[in-house]
Structure formats: C-alpha cells, structure tokens
Structure 1
Amino acid sequence: MKIGLYFGSFNPIHTGHMIIANFMAYHTDLDKVWLVVSPHNPLKASSSLLNEHHRFHMAEMAVADEPRLRVSNIEFSLPRPSFTIDTLTYLTEKFPTQEFVVIMGSDSFQNISRWKNYEQLIARYAIYVYNRPGHEIKETYGANVKIMHAPMLDISSSNIRKWIQEGKSVRYMVPDAIWKYMAENNYYKG
C-alpha cells in the first residue's frame, strides 16, 4: 500500500487542507493519505498553537466519513520537536510493508534544505509537491519529486485564527462540523 503523509499543524484544519488531501488520495497513485498532526513545527513559533489533542480531534472530525483519509497522532509520542525524517524512519520501521510518500506545498519544498537530514529524506522517500502560486519549483535537490496541480484555495490557518479573534465569520472556510465545534469551545478567540 502506498500512503501519502501530509504533515501539518492543522491549527485549525480548513477546507484548503481537505481539498489537497482528497486530491492526493483520488488523483494520484496513493492508496491513502494520512494527515499527520504535528505537535510543534520546529520552523514555526508554538505560541499560537491550540493544544495538539484539540487539533487532532478536529482533524479526525473533518475526515470521519472519507475512507481514503486518516488522521495520525504518531508524532505526539515521538521526541520533540518533531522532525519529518524521524517520523518517516519510525513509520517505516513500524510498517515495513507500506511505502510512504511525503506530501508538501512548493513553498515548503523550497525550504527543504533547511530540514533536518534532508539529504536522507530525499534519498529514501518520494515527495509529491502541490504547486502554490509564487513558489514555483526551480531546484529539486535530486529528490524524486512529482509536481501535482491540486486545486488551491487562498485560505490559511493563520488568517482563520486572526479573523476569529476579530469576531469575523469563518464559516465555509472550515468544514461545518469544525466551525460549530470551534464556536462551542471558543477556540482561537484570544
């Protein structure tokens, strides 16, 4: 089985994430896509992060009825901060019969040379890159890269958090169940 790993803070998960995950699951040779909720991205500040268990629960709610999508909290039990290569090494040892592929945006791929042991990552794993406007891939670093033209929404978790703090509606930017759940729990209000 070929599994795409879509890493992210998902703070919160939004419709743009869902479109990319679903596109990768149904428009590529992947059998499944796992959304890997990262407790803390070493390249981002953690101060605005909602508790990882809340983010994981919302991601699970978002994919609950989609058989090809799954949410993983594997990084919650690994040393922190979590590095992609460490997670991949762990998953490859735990599931030796699975083939893992990394899914990332072209903006992240442009920074891959800053990642821990990126040479090892690109030597061992294929990377499916979805194009983000203004971040065209010019250098592949010798990686096995497949560039995918997934539909893009100009939505970001940081804007969603900002708008919630400003008292603005984010309905339809996040799955409906997530929108209601965030409102009931006063997430991101400040």
Structure 2
Amino acid sequence: MSKRKVGLFFGSFNPVHIGHMILANYMATRTELDEVWMVVSPHNPLKKRGSLARDHDRLHLVELAIGDNPNLRISRIEFDLPKPSYTVDTLAVLRDKHPAYEFALIMGSDNLQSFAKWKNHEIILRDYRLMVYRRPGYDDGPFATHPSVSIFDAPLMQLSATYVRNRLKDGESIRYLVPAAVEDELLKSGMYR
C-alpha cells in the first residue's frame, strides 16, 4: 500500500492570513499531495519575542483558519522539540511518529535560495521532496534542477502578517485579509493591539 503524501508548510503564522490559506489549499488540491500540515513554529528562545503572539494563540488561529477543510491539518510538533528546532530534526521525528506518511517540504523560492545554509540540507534533499512555490523577486536558485525539487506557480498575494498586525494595531479593518473565524477571534481577543 502506498504511503499517504503529506506536505509540511512551516511558519510562525503571526497571524495566519488568507495568503497562507490559499497557498496551503493550492498545494493540497493541485499537486500530488494528499494533505498539507501547517506546522506552527514556536518562538525561538534565541530571538527577541517582539510582536510574536503566544504559541498557543497562533496555533488556535490556524485551527480556526483550517475549519472543516479535510485537506489541511495543524501540527504543533515543534512545540515539543528542543529549541531552536531545526527542520531536519523535525522531519526525523515526524517520520518516526508517522511511518505510514511520506513527507515533503513546502517552501518559497526565497528559502530555496538560502537552502545551503540549512542544517544538514544534504540529508533533507536526499530523503524528502521539496515543493517550492515561486516568489516574485527570487529566481529558483542553484537547487532548482535537483531531482528532489519541484517548482510550482502557486497563486501568491502581496500580503504579510506584519501588514495584518499593523492594521489591527491602528484599529483598521482586517476583513478579507484573514479567514472570517480568525478575524472574529482577533477582534474579540484584542491580540496584536
């Protein structure tokens, strides 16, 4: 029996917005992936907290954003790993925990360009597929022709979590920038204000 193909979409999702959701859904429905897991990255203890919301608040917002979409799931795997967590280690833990799944890494072409700086990037390229979505202003980089790398022209938005946070801070509308359930929760909780 063939393994279930899962794409891992890592992010701080601070907060999750419709650009994240469009991308996750595209990868889950327009590629050979069976589902996409949105992996919420915890606060890196080596970095200043700054405007990063609490880990569990961001996790809850992603859960709200996913709602009843059967193609998307949330993962808090990195919350339970030593900090800082490196992708290669997270992948090894997921593979051990879920032997029935075949994991692929979803990333933007900006990350592919700096991929040589990742811890044990050779192991990731050897053992996993990289599903790369093009980002404006970045070429595909030196790994684009590697047999483990597939490049996709997914729909992208000029929208950032920083933009959403700034709208909230200034008391402006975030309607349509985030899923409706996320908007409700952000307004109710006063997060990022």
- TM-score using structure 2 length: 0.93
Determine whether 1:89 maps to 2:92: yes
1:156-171 counterparts in 2 under 5 A?
Answer: 156-171=160-175
CA contact (8 A) 2:7 2:35 kept: yes
CA contact (8 A) 2:103 2:128 kept: yes
CA contact (8 A) 1:9 1:41 kept: no
RMSD after superposition: 1.7
**Partners of 2:116 and 2:147 in 1: how far apart?**
11
- TM-score using structure 1 length: 0.94
Extract unaligned runs of 5+ from structure 2.
none
Which of the numbers 18, 27, 30 marks the counterpart of 1:24?
A: 27
Determine whether 1:148 maps to 2:155: no
Superposition misfits of 4+ residues, deviation over 4 angstroms: 41-45
1:120 equivalent in structure 2: 123
**Partners of 1:123 and 1:129 in 2: how far apart?**
16
CA contact (8 A) 2:112 2:141 kept: no
**Partners of 1:78 and 1:174 in 2: how far apart?**
29
One-letter amino acid of the counterpart of residue 177, structure 1: A
One-letter amino acid of the counterpart of residue 108, structure 2: G
SS at match of 2:104: strand
Residue identity (%): 48
- Deviation of the 1:109 alpha carbon: 1.5
Extract unaligned runs of 5+ from structure 1.
none
- Deviation of the 1:41 alpha carbon: 5.4
**Partners of 1:29 and 1:144 in 2: how far apart?**
14
2:51 equivalent in structure 1: 48
Offset from partner CA, 1:154-178 (integer Å, 9 cap, x none): 1011111122112222110000110
**Partners of 2:45 and 2:126 in 1: how far apart?**
22
Determine whether 1:102 maps to 2:134: no
CA contact (8 A) 1:127 1:145 kept: yes
